[in-house]
Chains A and B, each alone.
Chain A
Amino acid sequence: MIGNDLVDLKLANIQSNWQRKGFLDKLFTPKEQEYILNADNPFETVWLLWSMKESAYKAYLQIYGDRFFSPKKLACSLLSKNKGTVLINNSLFFAESEVNEHFIHSISFSEKYNNNFLTDCFRFEHSDFKTQNNQTYQKVLEAFASELKLPISLLNIRKNTVGIPQLFQDKMLHKKSFSLTHHGQFGAFCIRN
């Protein structure tokens, strides 16, 4: 399974105050807090770890389907500046992140790192949440249409009861693992081949 998560750094800086009392304690394990407090750029490390957790949780949900809000149960270990693992209830996920001045985009895999996936990041012109959501769906549908060599009109995406987006071709469920994300000015998706 594959999951991805994008954090728009400019918006994260406005939406959340990571230095708020209790914030780090509720979201991060002691080890993760150490990464943050020892980092050259603690703000960036907060959102790197957060996007790793979110991307792994999205892959986790596709396997287990039990929703919960317990960020500390998604335990990150960093292997390098942009690679790490996330342990969730005894399942290990492998995360890889792109970090630039605008955003952090993390992709997690349920088995091991693999290059057999398709991903794309894009910038939105509109800041409206609904429009961005629709545009992200449209982008991934276009990718599926070109990959499956099908007209886009035959494809649609619906979320299941747990909130996982699923691809349908003429009402038939496709088994492909994919993941959508958008935040602030940016959106992204990834599809496992």
Chain B
Amino acid sequence: MKKEDLIATLKKIVKPYIQNEDAFENLSENTDFIKDLKINSANLVDVILDVEDEFDIIVDNESMEKMLTVKAALEIIEAKLSEK
């Protein structure tokens, strides 16, 4: 999957949970889920569960720990997809 497609899919996943529209419109690799998008931390687990469902991967605890930014999420998704 191309990076632009990954970002587009991730954007679709996070949309229901964001609380800052401006940051969402300007989403980039450097966007922080909590600090920028203001996603409620309990909802971050929904983002992770949705990522698992969407890409049919398992995000282990160690990966989840780093999943605070779009960049980290993309790296984790790419790594897990390549293991398949």
Contacts and interface: CB of A to CB of B under 8 A. Distances in A.
Interface string A114-153: 0000000000000001000000000000000000000000
Interface stretch (A35-43, A68-76, A102-110, A169-177): A68-76
A72 B20 CA distance: 27
Interface of B: 19-20, 34-35, 38, 40-46, 48-49, 52, 61, 64-68
Given A16-B42, A23-B49, A26-B49, 9 more contacts: A16-B46, A26-B48, A27-B45, A50-B42, A69-B41, A69-B66, A69-B68, A72-B61, A73-B65
Given A16-B46, A26-B48, A67 B61 contact: no
A155 interface: no
Contacts of A22: 49, 52
Interface of A: 12, 15-16, 20-23, 26-27, 50, 54, 67-73, 129, 163, 183
B contact face: mostly helix, strand, loop, or mixed: helix
A68 B66 contact: yes
Contacts of B65: 68-70, 73
